[in-house]
Amino acid sequence: MLSCKTLMDQIAGGSWDERLNHLYCCSGGEALEAVRARTIEAVKRYQELFSAGDDVQVALFSSPGRTELGGNHTDHQHGCVLAASVNMDMLSVAAPNGTSQVRIHSEGYPVLTVDLSNLSPVESEKETSASLVRGVAARMTELGQAPAGFDAYVCSSVPAGSGLSSSAAYEVLVGTIFNVLFCNQVFTPVQVAQIGQYAENVFFGKPCGLMDETASAVGGVVSIDFKDPSAPVVRKVDFDFPATGHTLCIINSGADHADLTDAYAAITNEMKSVAACFGKEVLRDVDETTFRATIPELRKALGDRAVLRAIHFFDENRRAVQEAEALEKGDFAAFLALVRASGMSSSLYLQNTFAPSDPKQQAIPMVLWAAEEVLQGTGAVRVHGGGFAGTVQAFVPNDKLPAFLNAMEQLLGKDMCHMLSIRPEGGCLVAG
């Protein structure tokens, strides 16, 4: 912990430049100046909001957004994914407050107060940030720790609805703050991710896989095997993306996520219905050869879409592993080919580029078309994350980047295409 004044002085004086360059994928210059200014402003906002003097001891925390590189809708079937943390994050200045209350001021939102004397789910809190805080604290308590009250100011560069999983970044941020301030950092990044998933499933009330939290908590490019979801196998994948001459872009299609819960749930339910035909709960436990031999019978029993979605799972699960191998070998061309195949499979077999209930809204196919118009077979483009609305991911050759950005602006308007870097570290204590 450092006093507010010392922390601001050290940041302004360059003492934390190496750390900030590392986390935000910048190499000095204007980019670093902007990061310095943002962190100093965060400390000032903490002082204003909590009436904290210059001598008050605080710490600086960061939790990144994530991008799914491979494994579209495989995690909920205990499959394999390839994901990465990105250089958009949630930044927090926090300190213990000596009470049982967590008070969080998130920029642009009302203050959030959660009393940890009650660690049971609260019905009225479902689908709110308060439920995530309470859920994380409850799980850490169950695991033998004693999280307590803290004050925190949070600002975010992870846009809501950006497909970069702001909810997972928030869970990991809260978990990291608790872990550092009260738990002597006994929880590993994977455990912080699992605690976040527990909070989202049990307290927030939303079933979710573990990919988002794991990518945000562990950081860098990670290959994750969820065959045993209680003990996922997480492996860091070393790869130098800037050296490829491509830029990673996430494009917000502008479509509304509302009323898509049933569409998302149908994917999980239909995949599980195929698994159930073999006496299994998830497709990862089904023998693929047996599945393929049984396709005619499955079509009659379940219909074509469920079978096509299962086909996607088996192929996509294999692709996620192959993508990690391609990066480790430095074969970026092979990686791009696999990304293109993933996008094709999601469109044709998984069928998550638009909701059948609203066929007039096909924003993701429109973005895919506009991207291909520029890329013309170079780079790669695919639906990103859950699908139906939301975002598209593209790997754009740098010489085509200006034309690509212009095409996206023409179609969608300003600030809908985000250029990202892969961040090498997950949720962490930055300084203090």
Residue 257 pLDDT level (bands cut at 50, 70, 90): low
Q: How confident is the model at residue 145 (pLDDT cuts 50, 70, 90)?
A: very high
- Beta-strand relationship, 57-70 and 233-236: unpaired
Distance in angstroms (rounded) separating the CA atoms of residues 180 and 361 = 45
User: Do the Cβ atoms of 213 and 139 come closer than 8 Å?
Assistant: no
- What CA–CA distance (Å, rounded) separates 156 from 121? 26
Q: Is 120 exposed, middle or buried (0-12, 13-18, 19+ CB in 10 A)?
A: exposed
CATH of domain 2-238+423-431: 3.30.230.10
**pLDDT for the residue 249:** 96
Copy the structure tokens of residue 307. 């079978």
**Which H helix or E strand runs over 339?**
helix 332-345
Torsion angle of C-alpha atoms 110, 111, 117, 119, degrees rounded to 10: 50
Q: How confident is the model at residue 386 (pLDDT cuts 50, 70, 90)?
A: confident
Tens digits of residue pLDDT in 154-185: 999 987 666 666 888 999 999 999 999 999 99
Give the residue from 59, 85, 81 showing the smallest Cα distance to 70. Answer: 81
Domain residue spans of the chain: 2-238+423-431
Tokens of 211: 């990919």
Q: Which residues of 351-361 are buried (b: 16+ CB within 10 A; e: fewer)?
A: bbbbbeeeeeb
With CA atoms as reference, report the closest residue to 308 among 339, 270, 281: 270
- pLDDT averaged over the chain? 94
Nearby residues of 108 by Cβ (< 8 Å), 6 or more positions away: none
pLDDT class of 258 with cuts at 50, 70, 90 = low
Contact 91, 39 (CB under 8 A): yes
The better pLDDT of the pair 353, 257 is held by: 353
pLDDT tens-place string over residues 70-116: 999 999 999 999 999 999 999 999 999 999 999 999 999 999 999 99
The predicted pLDDT at position 211 comes to 84
Q: Are 282 and 77 in contact (CB under 8 A)?
A: yes
**pLDDT tens, position by position, 265-322:** 899 999 999 999 999 999 999 999 999 999 999 999 999 999 999 999 999 999 999 9
Question: Would you say 354 and 361 are in contact if contact means Cβ atoms under 8 Å apart?
Answer: yes
